[in-house]
Structure 1
Amino acid sequence: MTKYLNSKKSGILLLVLLIASLLFALYYYVILPKKDEVRAKEASIQSLQTEIKSLEQSLTSFDEQLEVPMQETLEMQKKVPSARAVEQVLRDMVEIEEVTGTRMESLTFNNYDEPVANANVDQTNTVAEAEAKVNEENQENTETPPVSTIAQENIPPELKLVTFTFDIGALTFDSMVTFLKEVEKLERVMKIDTINMTIPGEQEKLDKEADHTIKATVQITTFYYEGQE
């Protein structure tokens, strides 16, 4: 009986040892490699996350560096557009005329490439009327078109000139000065080439029926850059 019990205990012990060996083998050959693989993947993921953060920082820095030239380019395009934009010049002149209480009596363009009548201009109301008046006067006017005082050989070939001259009337000298200052304040670069002003004399001021309007002939040159995208 004792031998039977000892034999049974030995069998159970061997079974336990066998199960323990199988569990150890399972852990060592299956579970442990999987854990190592998981650790390796976690390390790889962490490394990728670090690289992603580094790339994001680099992209942010690049965007910030790129944003400055883009802003500068946009600002420059406001000052020197990539097209003649004659219609915008007309709009600006009409707007300044209304704000300052002055009156433009004639307007003649010379954009060195083609007459204003052939330009691609989409305008309405006052601007359209102003351009129609300009075109009509240009057709009737046999005088030489305005020529800028800037020597074209001294500027880059991509930088084009648009010169225009106009007669303007104002009831006061301050209104005339305000008109010219408003022209200089425009975002687009406007160079006032010449100003020929006529001011009523003392006798004309005393004569109630005389024309007291201060008149001036102004020539202005603006620019556009053909090389811009």
Structure 2
Amino acid sequence: MASSQRNTVILVALLTIALLGALYYYVVLPKTERVASLQSTITTLTATRDTALADIAAFDAKDLDAGTLARLQKQVPKERGVEYILRDLEDIEMLTRSRIENISFSEYDEPMLERKLGLTETTEEELAAQLANETVEEEEPLYNAALAEAPEGLQIITYQVELLTPDYKTLRTFIREVEGLERIIKIDVVQLSQPGEEVKFAEVVDYTVSASLQLTTFFYNE
């Protein structure tokens, strides 16, 4: 009888030990490993964050060199510089053997903070559509929403250029030359039409393409 009880106690003890072992192996140990893994991840992320913050602080503390500052001021000057735009357009006119019939411009007094305007160049698809006798405009109205990331004081001038060119290839070259200028200039709209007969037959150069271009440039008014 005593031997039977002793065996029962031993069996219960063994089962208890086995149950505790299984509980530790399948429940406690995975949670412990998960906690250790999370702590390691937190440590790594903290180190990455500290490195990024240090890099940002170093960048903010570093002054722009004279060359970089001069390049940025040419791209977005601190004054309107209308005369320089007109001079550049005249140079491109001579280079491409085109003829500018008329230039007018409108200045917007409201800062860019009150408008939305994409700064990307004309894509090949957009330009192909424009040269296929289509008028391509922005998907949204040009100045219809806030551009919150624009710095305060950034303003725009919009130019309307009436242009005559010998062919579509020359028009494409004119557009690329304008977009290649140091100062940032965006071509918003290209609208094509046929030049009048008096133009086609009265000139030495046969101007077969008439285009109306809307250009937008920027300046920073402190």
Query: What TM-score, normalized by structure 2, do the two folds share?
Result: 0.49
Bigger Rg, structure 1 or 2: 1
Query: What TM-score, normalized by structure 1, do the two folds share?
Result: 0.48
Q: Which has the higher helix share?
A: 1
